[in-house]
Amino acid sequence: MPSHITDVALALALYVVTGLGVTVGFHRLITHRSFTARRWLKVGLAVAGSMSFQGSVLDWVATHRRHHAFTDRPGDPHSPYRYGAGVVGQLRGVAHAHVGWMFRNDPTAVGHYAPDLRADPAMVRIGRAFPALCAVSLTLPFVVGWAVAGSWYGGVTAFVWAGLIRVALLQHVTWSINSLCHLIGPHPHPTRRHDRSTDLWPLALPSFGESWHNGRASP
Ligand SMILES: [Zn+2]
Ligand SMILES: [Zn+2]
Average predicted confidence (pLDDT) for the chain = 94
Longest CA–CA separation in the chain, Å: 58
**pLDDT of 218:** 44
**pLDDT of 52:** 98
163-212 residue pLDDT tens: 999 999 999 999 999 999 999 999 888 777 789 999 999 999 999 999 99
DSSP 75: T
Q: What percent of the chain has pLDDT over 70?
A: 97
Distance 68 CA to ligand 1 centre (A): 6
**pLDDT of 1:** 60
Contact 109, 62 (CB under 8 A): yes
Pick the ligand that lies closest to the CA of residue 216: 1
**pLDDT of 216:** 62
Domain ranges across the chain: 3-203
Distance 21 CA to ligand 1 centre (A): 14
Distance 190 CA to ligand 2 centre (A): 14
90-142 residue pLDDT tens: 999 999 999 999 999 999 999 999 999 999 999 999 999 999 999 999 999 99
Q: Does position 15 have pLDDT exceeding 90, yes or no?
A: yes
116 CB neighbour count, 10 Å cutoff: 11
Distance 217 CA to ligand 1 centre (A): 6
pLDDT band at 2 (very low <50, low <70, confident <90, very high): low
Distance 214 CA to ligand 1 centre (A): 10
Contact 175, 187 (CB under 8 A): no
DSSP, residue by residue, 107-155: ---HHHH-HHHHT-HHHHHHHHTHHHHHHHHHHHHHHHHHHHHTSHHHH
Q: Does position 79 have pLDDT exceeding 90, yes or no?
A: yes
**pLDDT of 219:** 43
Please state, in angstroms and as integers, the Cα–Cα distance from residue 196 to each residue in 10, 74, 189, 190, 193, following that order: 36, 14, 10, 8, 8
Distance 166 CA to ligand 1 centre (A): 23
Pick the ligand that lies closest to the CA of residue 65: 1
Pick the ligand that lies closest to the CA of residue 33: 1
- Taking phi over 0 as left and psi of -120 to 50 as alpha, with beta for the rest, 185 belongs to left
Q: Which has the closest alpha carbon to 97: 216, 201, 213, 206?
A: 213
Total-model pTM: 0.94
Pick the ligand that lies closest to the CA of residue 101: 2
**pLDDT of 84:** 87
Pick the ligand that lies closest to the CA of residue 27: 1
Alpha-carbon 147 to chain mean position:
29
Q: Does position 217 have pLDDT exceeding 60, yes or no?
A: no
Q: What percent of the chain has pLDDT over 90?
A: 90
